[in-house]
Structure 1
Amino acid sequence: MTGPELDILATKIAERIASPRWMKLTAAVKYSSYSRAQLIELAERRDIVGYPDPDSKRGDWIFDKESIDEYRLSHFFGARQKALSILKSL
């Protein structure tokens, strides 16, 4: 590996350590800008990965950060493609 490639790899590892993959509901709301109800609904529809935390006695939920990212990206690119197709048809 070259120096720049090692720098990129080190940055990705540091991001993983600093930002855990699994988030509680409150952290997922802040991260995603979706409401609590929206996140739970998305998880129940299996659009994102989330479920009641088995370690919680209060019924808290936990969410997979990567699935939230994938969901948002898929919607961004879907909207972008739709806009491009509309522009091409003009």
Structure 2
Amino acid sequence: MTEESIDAIQVIEATIRNCQKSQLKFVAGSAQFTLLKNRLHALEVGRGLLCQESGHKSTNKFDFQFKLLNLIFGGRSFSPVQILKTL
């Protein structure tokens, strides 16, 4: 794992923590809440890609794929069973 990859993962993880803290301030269903929810999904996918590319083992492959598919399907929540049925 390169130093650049480690730095990028650390920045993404810090941004994820900040978004999670900010999300607590908004009402579920509001535009701000939804924006942060979608941003969190995107950040988690980015972190997963970086971790996978650099060989970092802290990301569960199934969890990463689940989040990626949820992001692809417009941020709507699907259960793992629903997603597997579509494949």
Query: TM-score with structure 1 length normalisation?
Result: 0.31
Query: TM-score with structure 2 length normalisation?
Result: 0.32
Determine which structure has greater relative contact order: mean sequence separation of CA pairs < 8 Å that are 6+ residues apart, divided by chain length: 2
Determine which structure has the larger helix proportion and give its number: 2
